[in-house]
Structure 1
Amino acid sequence: MSRMLRASAIMAAGTMVSRLTGFFRTAVIAAAIGVAALGDAYNAAYQIPYILFDLLLQGVLSSVVVPLIVKAQKNDPDGGQAFEQRLMTLAVLGLTVIAVIGMALSRPIMELYTASNWSAHKVDVAATLAMCLLPQIAFFGVGAMAGAILNTRDRFGAPMWAPVLNNIVVIGIGVVFYKVGTSNIDTVTRGDLLLLGVGTTAGIVAQAIVLIIALHRAGFRFRPRFGLRDSGLGEAARSALWTFAFVGINQLGFLVTTKLSTGAGDRAPGSGNSAYSYAFQLFQLPYGIIAVSVITAMLPRMSRLVADGELGAARSEFSSGVRLVSSLIVPAGLLLLVLGPAVTTLIFSWGHMTPEDARYIGNVLQVFGLALVPFSIFQLLLRVFYSFGDTKTPAIIAAVNATINSALSLVAYFTLPARYIVIGMAFSYLVTYVVGGGVAWALASRRIGGLEGRAVLGGLYRMYVAAIPAALAALAILWLTREVTEITAVSAAVVLAVGGGAGLLLYMITAQRMRVPEVTSIIGLVTSRVGR
């Protein structure tokens, strides 16, 4: 536990700064372009490089590449160096080709992912932005592969800190666009779009450069290697087939979500894809700071333990990871449920965004807050399968999730008033991960011989009991503030500082008195650092 906690703390510090600057970045971009037609076009185009990268490499990195690099480092005479070089060569060349093809097909891609009721001009704007953003794919590949190699060498800091530079670059671009551009899609110029699109891509380029430098300092020397015979990549390709299926199924579900949310935005401006996208980004903040840090540290160790046949130790590693993540995710989820609109009022009620737009994003975020715990545990469960090199089972579970989420989202789209569609879609996401998490738990438990479920459930029960008074305290501060004044950006900041701070402090005190060991360990780590 202490080793995982220390490694996770290093990553969490970088991730926290990264996500907080990401908060500011999101606020600046939203203020510059709004959540109406231009905002929807930008957010739809912005997601395309991530979708294609996810389809082509991201899932393979987490499920296949890290366990195989660990295996090569252990078994190959050169410590896996040639294997790493071949992987890097393949990723750089393959993703560069995909980026070029994507740029050529930017308009058909945008027509696929956007609502059929979009005007030709709106699709043109989105396609222009996508063409500027698609080169990111190649730099995503370089950075992600560098991050994977660094993680297997227990170098966790750079992958978590590098996005900060990306955020700073894009913040600068957003400020410039706010000064010289326009949020009106009918009057936006090609120069405005190039500034927005190329500037966003420049942030990813800067992020990749930081990771390349960190990888060089870790001792990795890149030399292009093209020979595939006896390289071990055949095993990677076989494992990756199911991973591609997993990612492809998820992206089909994402396609449905994007089409429905963009359609909802045309029916009720300000209540569409931008609102859903911004709320989802904020929902990912606590997951990214807390859960991703633990997952990144946990997967290489679980892979080593499974490879050595130490399943009991692997079970303990997983159980410790779940309880450590939940000790902070549980109160974060409840506080988002209470303070979601205050968070978004502080971040989004600026520039071309109205307070009403900001509060609506907060309503969507409140529902996402309920999904934080099941979503995080689900992601941890996938690492059980990946540590065994099993990519088939996650693909099957993904099909279940995509079916549930798409079906419930369609029900929301056709039955709810336009203003409430994306809120209903967020609820669909919650139900999906509750059901999917239950299925994943049962299958993972069978695979590894148990997941110490009694200890996990007991820990979750104590965490929720400790978190409820914290949420009530935050709710009381919010209610008192509303009685005195309207919730503006200033009063929202007060609510978050007082209500959120008091809530977290109350949770820590209550959890420590209830002897929740994970919270006690976190407090001990923090006090020891402060004491120095």
Structure 2
Amino acid sequence: MSLARNTLVQAGFTLLSRLLGYARDRAISNLLGAGWVGDAFATAQTFPNLFRRILAEGAFSQAFVPLYAKTQAEIGKDKAAEVASQAFSVLTLVAALVTILAQLAMPWIMLVIHGGYADKPQAFQFAILLTQITMPYLVGMAMSSLFSGVLNTAGKFALSAAAPTLLNLTILAAVIFVKEPTQAALNAAVAITIAGVLQALALYIGCRRLGVRIGFRVPRLTPEVRAIVLVMGPSVIAGSATHLNVLVSQSLSSFEVGAKSWLYAADRLFQLPLGLIGVAIGVALLPRLARAVASPETGDDTKALDEAFVLSMAFTLPAAAALVVAPFFLMQGFWAGGQFTEADARATADALFHYGWGVPAFVLIRILAPPFFARGDTKRPMNFALISVLVNIGLGASLFF
């Protein structure tokens, strides 16, 4: 299985998703601007996405894919499908419980992640409402993560890479004819949850066409599910470092009106090389490494890692240089317009410059972490992640205040 080919498929559909995502974010930023409405919507997107990336796409995928690949190789497809169904039932239940608890506790959660608006009741309550609306997106993404893991293990990357375009199309359809900012934000929040359902449904159909029948079971901690949970524990921490760092930055930025919107706009361009290169290669690399570890005599793991390193840096370094050299040019061209002013673009460019020189390191995390996860070693990535979070909190708070 060619790593370069699978990466190209993943990157191609990711690029399509990013282009549609840009159209979505440009429409939203021009409608909402970099004020309290824009900051509230940025929070409503960030919080469920944090759980999605940590629990669904991050820790769960890293724990599930190697076990699923090993079960399929050693026992057969029927047993692997049963393992997938067991994991699916437990993951969906956990995601639903997290969603409900987060919705109930949202006023207190918002004091942590949106505390700068606590003395502005209208803006604060609006952020609570939007985030409660978007939280069910997590359940859809939890389901989608498992279905994507099954498809990717079979070497079918196209559908899982294309599914996120549904989110962008759904939000665009919800806001394109709306002129009033608060109504546009409400429509977009509802669209996020609808998109989660559509993505899960599309990927489920893909698994059925592959011949893998995954269904609900009574949630039980079977030996296979326990193995996934044991690996997920440290993996949750290891995979959450980047996203916890983003949450720290979002919490600090809530004390300046518009700063969340600036960081969100800068993050969208920062995520472009990370998604097209780092995530695409990482997604293609993990199933290959998992199979190589299950059949160590092939020696394919070292070869795959070498390919991934060279391929990632060949594309990442030029992208990072562009973000560092011309951040204002990029921000003015991509975002300025409507309620998003030139002053907002300049403030966003300052953030993009510092995101830019960190891009190669973030891409390398995506390349260097899968070898640990493929071997079931999540403790060392966890230790590195904890150090990263502590350094970020210390530096972020001291530099901000």
Length-normalised TM-score, structure 2: 0.93
Kindly indicate whether residue 385 of structure 2 is the aligned counterpart of residue 393 of structure 1: no
Distance 1:229 1:92 in 2: 14
The CA distance in 2 between the partners of 1:255 and 1:235, in whole Å, is 29
Distance in structure 2 (CA, Å) of the matches to 1:227 and 1:8: 34
Which stretch has the larger CA shift, 200-209 or 20-29? 200-209
Q: Could you say if the C-alpha distance between residues 336 and 222 of structure 1 is closer, same or farther in structure 2, counting changes exceeding 3 Å? A: same
Once the two structures are TM-superposed, the CA of residue 98 in structure 1 deviates from its matched residue by 2.3
Say which SS state the counterpart of residue 34 (structure 2) adopts.
Answer: coil
Give the conservation status (yes or no) of the 8 Å contact 1:250–1:399. Answer: no
Counterpart amino acid of residue 240 in structure 1: M
Alignment of 1:221 onto 2:220: no
Return the offset for 1:126.
0.3
- 2:134 is aligned to 133
2:65 counterpart of 1:66: yes
For residue 257 of structure 1, what is the amino acid of its counterpart?
S
- Does 2:289 align with 1:288? no
**C-alpha separation in 2, matches of 1:324 and 1:28:** 33
Secondary structure in structure 2 of the residue aligned to 1:154:
coil
Does 1:96 find its partner at 2:96? yes
| 2:214 maps to 1:233 | no
Counterpart in the other structure of 1:44: 43
Residues 17-40 of structure 1: CA deviation (Å, up to 9, x unaligned): 111111111111111111111111
1:287 to 1:310, Cα distance in 2 relative to 1, 3 A:
farther
Classify the secondary structure of the residue corresponding to 1:349. Answer: coil
Question: How far is the alpha carbon of 1:393 from its aligned partner?
Answer: 0.8
**Equivalence for 2:172:** 171
Aligned to 1:259: 251
Q: For residue 489 of structure 1, what is the aligned residue in structure 2?
A: none
Structure 2 CA distance for partners of 1:176 and 1:201, relative to 1, 3 Å: farther
For residue 90 of structure 1, give the secondary structure of its aligned residue in structure 2.
Answer: helix
Query: Structure 2: how far apart are the matches of 1:358 and 1:229?
Result: 50
Matched residue type, 2:149: A
Q: Distance in 2 between matches of 1:19 and 1:250?
A: 20
**Could you say which residue in structure 2 is the equivalent of 1:343?**
330
Match in the other structure for 1:314: 301
Judged with a 3 Å threshold, the aligned counterparts in structure 2 of structure 1 residues 122 and 82 are, in CA distance, closer, same or farther, namely same
Counterparts in 2 of 1:192 and 1:275: CA distance versus 1, 3 Å: closer
Distance 2:74 2:220 in 1: 18
Partner of 2:161: 160
CA contact (8 A) 2:41 2:185 kept: no
By how many angstroms is 1:310 displaced? 4.2
CA contact (8 A) 2:20 2:168 kept: yes
In structure 2, how many angstroms separate the alpha carbons of the residues matched to 1:192 and 1:378? 36
Structure 2: distance between partners of 1:250 and 1:356: 28
Partner of 1:220, secondary structure, is coil
Q: In structure 1, the residue corresponding to 2:296 is in which secondary structure?
A: coil
SS in 2 for 1:160: helix
- 1:144-155 aligned within 5 A: 144-155=145-156
1:206 corresponding residue in structure 2 = 198
Paired letter, 1:208 = A
Distance 1:121 1:159, change over 3 A: same
- Give CA-to-partner distance per residue, 1:164-191, whole Å, 9 cap, x none: 12101112223233x2x13xxxxx4xx6
Name the residue aligned to 1:26: 25
Number of the residue aligned with 1:513: none
Alignment partners' CA distance in 1, 2:336 and 2:348: 11
Matched-pair contact (CA < 8 Å) for 1:83–1:231: no
Change (3 A) 1:226 1:340: same
- Aligned pair 1:324/2:331, yes or no? no
Root mean square deviation, CA, Å: 2.1
Residues 370-409 of structure 1 mapped to structure 2, 5 A cutoff: 370-409=357-396
Give, as a single letter, the amino acid of the residue that structure 2 aligns with 1:18: S
CA 1:411 to 1:289, structure 2 compared with 1: closer, same or farther past 3 Å?
same
Distance 1:356 1:116 in 2: 21
1:104-115 pair list within 5 angstroms: 104-115=104-115
Aligned residues: 399
Residues 42, 260 of structure 2: 8 Å contact kept? yes
Deviation at 1:373, TM superposition (A): 0.9
Q: Alpha-carbon deviations, 1:200-229, whole Å to 9, x = none? A: 322333222222222222222223223747
**2: CA distance between counterparts of 1:321 and 1:206?**
32
Stretch moving more, 155-164 or 245-254:
245-254
Contact 2:60 2:228 in 1 (8 A): no
Indicate the residue corresponding to 1:124 in structure 2.
125
CA offsets 1:135-182 (integer angstroms, 9 cap, x no match)? 1111111111111111111110011111112101112223233x2x13
The one-letter code of the counterpart of 2:86 is: R
1:82–1:225 Cα contact (<8 Å) kept: no
Letter in 1 for 2:110: M
Structure 2 residue runs of 5 or longer lacking an equivalent are none
Larger relative contact order, structure 1 or 2 (CA cutoff 8 Å, min sep 6) = 2
Report the more deviating stretch, 115-124 or 341-350: 115-124
> CA–CA distance in 2 between the matches of 1:66 and 1:141?
14
Name the CA distance, whole Å, in 2 between partners of 1:401 and 1:30: 31
Please state how far the C-alpha of 1:55 moved relative to its aligned partner: 4.2
Check 1:285–1:31 CA distance in 2 against 1; reply closer, same or farther (3 A cut). Answer: same
Equivalent position SS for 1:371: helix
| Aligned partner of residue 390 in structure 1, secondary structure | coil
Residue-by-residue CA offset, 1:221-266 (whole Å, 9 max, x unaligned): 2232237475411211211221233356655544422221112x24
Runs of 5+ consecutive residues of structure 1 not aligned to the other structure? 183-187, 415-532
Distance 1:345 1:310, change over 3 A: farther
CA deviation profile, 1:334-367 (whole Å, cap 9, x unmatched): 1122232222212211221112212321232122
SS at match of 2:176: helix
Tell me which residue corresponds to 1:274: 261
> CA–CA distance in 2 between the matches of 1:306 and 1:316?
12
Calculate percent identity across the aligned residue pairs.
25
* Partner deviation per Cα, 1:482-513 (whole Å, 9 max, x = no partner): xxxxxxxxxxxxxxxxxxxxxxxxxxxxxxxx
Q: Equivalents in 2 of 1:230, 1:206: separation in Å? A: 29
The answer as to whether partners of 2:163 and 2:203 remain within 8 angstroms in 1 is yes
Residue 213 and residue 369 in structure 1: after superposition, are their counterparts in 2 closer, same or farther (change >3 A)? same
In 2, Cα distance between the equivalents of 1:130 and 1:227?
A: 28
For 2:220 and 2:161, the matched residues in 1 are separated by: 31
Is 2:6 aligned against 1:7?
A: yes
Which whole-Å deviations, capped at 9, do the CAs of 1:256-308 have from their partners, x for residues lacking one? 22221112x24xxx3x1111122112101112112222111111111221232
